[in-house]
Amino acid sequence: MPRLVPAVCCFALLLVSPIEPMFAQTPRPALAEPWMNRSLNADERADLLVHAMTMEEKIQLVHGSGWGVLRAGDPILPGHNLGAGFTPGIPRLHLPGINFADSAVGIRMAALQSRYATLLPSVIGMAATWDPGSATLYGSVIGRELRDQGFNMSIGGGVDLIREPRNGRNFEYASEDPVLSGIMVGHLAEGVQANHVMGDIKHYAVNDQETGRNVLNALLDRRSLRETDLLAFQIAIGLAKPAGVMCSYNRLNGDYACENDYLLHQVLKQDWGFKGFVLSDWEGTHSTSKAALAGLDMEQPGDTYFGSALKLAVERGEVPQLRLDDMVHRIVRSMIASGAFDDPPVRRVVDPFQGRDDAQKIAEEGIVLLQNHGGVLPLSSMKLSSVAIIGAHADVGVLSGGGSAQVDAPNGDAVHPYFGSSPWNQPVVFPSSPMRYIREQLAPGASVTFDEGIDPASAAKTAAQAKVAIVFVQQWMTEGQDAETLSLPGNQDALVHAVAAANPNTIVVIESGGPVKMPWKGEVKGILEAWYPGIGGGQAIANLLFGCVNPSGKLPVTFAVKDEDLPHPHVTGLTAGTGNNGMDGKNNPNADKSFPVDYNVEGMMVGYKWFQSKGKAPLFPFGFGLSYTQFAYADMEAKPDGSSVSFTVKNVGARGGDEIAQVYVTLPGSAGEPFRKLVGWKRISLAPQEVKRVEIALDPLFLSVFSVAQDRFVRMPGEYLIEAGGSSSDLPLHLRVPLGGLSDVAH
């Protein structure tokens, strides 16, 4: 697990290496070498480059240069841009190095280098917009700032399914549904790459919990695997054609992901035709020949297996020379195809204003209004005379997620300022205070009081004196550690109960990594799920509460009433009080203690599919979200070949708003999938009383099942039930459409 050790940097920068001059990032003049010829395609140019390389140069490209700034004492080579990793280039061939930056929700470790990076809303919050345009915008903020900071490769693009709602990294992932996750994260990676920065999709695959992630063996039958976790990767990779796919730490059905022939060679490269390179998660490589033959192309962050050991394996014929050439081809091809080779990054000042505006726009689209009894929201700027704001440091800022996705806050943590880069293992609050916007901009005439929310009795007293009480609650999540339960940590449930008892107009704003329990749901009037809303989050929350923006986000995950309703009532391997059960880091005493995590319990019934199949009522269903207006659905038609459906949506309320119209399909009985699944959606804007006809294309892949016998997706003949509406459990439109079989939809 990378940990930042700032003191190493000054020393390491003084090291001189013969490999590459410092910051070889300026555009190069056109040169005569044949691979500089832009009229050739990326494969042709890559072939020429590989042909020109020595054995040593090839080996140099297939591994990283060490932990760098992430670990004290590790050398930092010249040309290293001080991100998570660096693979030096080959100046003799005018090939730049690869500078990797962790950038799941914005660029990590910027403050340490006196740089600035925008904190975007968490990926799950982005997915809650259901807006592919917002996903592209999200990626373009990351791509733009990576370029500005001199990086040419992003490591982000988390598309693991939210199979385990208590997973510490759910804030880095999009959703529990493969179609929603694949489409949103695919657009995100497209946005990154549009900036001529190499993009990445991670963690391949089934890295669905953090507890024991380095040792656990995820078990999942092949059909379920292809229709759930792998389908999300398939869609995202197909859309974005990313430069890199990062293989994950865990084992899958026996083999480590980074030496798993089925995952890397058979599915990713053969079935999906992936042309980029597979890089290991940091210290996720476990072998030389096995990994190389299975399809791993680059070891990170060091050279334990893919340095001299790989050279020897090639010389001995254990790994064919052609395989090494293929690894190198994939790496340089990706550099050329993404534009990072011909248009290398040029450092300049990051635009914080643009970043903030973009982050705020995405937050405003992705925050979900879950409850609004008696029309308590929106609050009126004109009429509100007093408001009590309680808890979660809402007086100074909003929460962010931890681990390698942590972005540095301007001026450090707003609660406990520090200097330099953000810590790995403690919450960081960004200076975007919801209270400030309420007090200064949205309710300047109201009396605004604040209570820290530590003592429920004191908070109740403050709440009782105001017309409205807004309680902020939070759940801090981080890499390497899952939540023990869905409950909010600390005494926050008691806090909400106490405030709700004191004030009949209580509204709860949740800042969480994913779904949480709400035992107080029946006691409060309003509930807003804000996720980790990013650097524009305070303003976004205030704008939604006061109706300057009409809420439109919808849940990308099911919120369960209680842990016992989940397929796994406890996170497998997580012992109360031990955090990750001591099995996160590779170099720990439990490293050899692999244990199974049996995802066959739910198989393909992930999230809402589990709840529907088991007849369990969720707290809030997948796809759910309220607006300050209402929408009505009518007149669904389907093309006879099942290629699209259309219907009308009307805004029947008095204010303009966006609706996310969703389409679900239940396959014929012979498919053996007794649940509906999301197959398409559209986000539409409607003025009051406006009606729009919406057409939604249905991708044959999403109507198919994976046939293990035929090793491909096929469409079963029979009657398909198509339903449409505003959430997975509110589908007023139904159609039954007979469709013929299709024997070869996709691999």
| 1 binds ligand BGC per the rule CB under 6 A | yes
Q: Closest distance between ligand BGC and the C-beta of residue 172, in Å?
A: 8
Q: Closest distance between ligand BGC and the C-beta of residue 495, in Å?
A: 33
DSSP per-residue codes, 521-560: GGG-SEEEE--S--TTHHHHHHHHHTTSS------SSPBP
User: Of 158 and 391, which has the nearer Cβ to ligand BGC?
Assistant: 158
Q: Which of residues 256-295 bind ligand BGC (CB under 6 A)?
A: 281-282
Q: Closest distance between ligand BGC and the C-beta of residue 158, in Å?
A: 7
Q: 587: which residues sit within 8 A by CB, 6+ positions away?
A: none
Cα 246–Cα 252–Cα 254 angle in degrees, nearest 5 = 130
Q: CA-to-CA distance for 567 and 557, rounded, in angstroms?
A: 14
Q: CA-to-CA distance for 400 and 420, rounded, in angstroms?
A: 17
Q: Closest distance between ligand BGC and the C-beta of residue 278, in Å?
A: 14
Q: Which residue from 84, 388, 399, 488 is in contact with ligand BGC, where contact means CB under 6 A?
A: 84
Region of 106 please: left (phi>0), alpha (psi -120 to 50) or beta.
Answer: left
Q: Which amino acid is at 593?
A: K
User: Of 204 and 520, which has the nearer Cβ to ligand BGC?
Assistant: 204
| 155 binds ligand BGC per the rule CB under 6 A | yes
| 247 binds ligand BGC per the rule CB under 6 A | no
Going by C-alpha positions, the residue among 98, 58, 71 that lies closest to residue 306 is: 58
State how far the alpha carbon of 716 is from the alpha carbons of 270, 436, 668, 706, in Å: 24, 56, 7, 10
Residues in binding contact with ligand BGC, number by CB under 6 A: 9
User: Of 207 and 629, which has the nearer Cβ to ligand BGC?
Assistant: 207
User: Of 237 and 737, which has the nearer Cβ to ligand BGC?
Assistant: 237
| 2 binds ligand BGC per the rule CB under 6 A | yes
User: Of 285 and 404, which has the nearer Cβ to ligand BGC?
Assistant: 404
Q: CA-to-CA distance for 348 and 205, rounded, in angstroms?
A: 36
Binding string, 395-414, against ligand BGC, x = CB under 6 A? ---------x----------
DSSP per-residue codes, 265-317: IIIIIIIS---SEEEE-TT----SHHHHHHT--BB-S--TTTSHHHHHHHHTT
Q: Closest distance between ligand BGC and the C-beta of residue 389, in Å?
A: 35
| Tokens representing residue 252 in the block | 């899958």
| 215 binds ligand BGC per the rule CB under 6 A | no
Decide the pairing of beta strands 468-474 and 386-390. Answer: parallel
| 168 binds ligand BGC per the rule CB under 6 A | no
Binding string, 565-604, against ligand BGC, x = CB under 6 A? ----------------------------------------
User: Of 397 and 402, which has the nearer Cβ to ligand BGC?
Assistant: 402
Q: Closest distance between ligand BGC and the C-beta of residue 102, in Å?
A: 5
Q: Which residue from 20, 47, 102, 482 is in contact with ligand BGC, where contact means CB under 6 A?
A: 102
Rounded (10°) CA dihedral 130, 133, 138, 139: 120
Q: Closest distance between ligand BGC and the C-beta of residue 467, in Å?
A: 45
The CB density around residue 93, as the number of other CB atoms within 10 Å, is: 16
Decide the pairing of beta strands 447-451 and 468-474. Answer: unpaired
| 299 binds ligand BGC per the rule CB under 6 A | no
User: Of 282 and 702, which has the nearer Cβ to ligand BGC?
Assistant: 282
Containing 609, the helix (H) or strand (E) segment is helix 608-613
Footprint of ligand BGC on this chain (CB under 6 A)?
Answer: 1-2, 84, 102, 155, 202, 281-282, 404
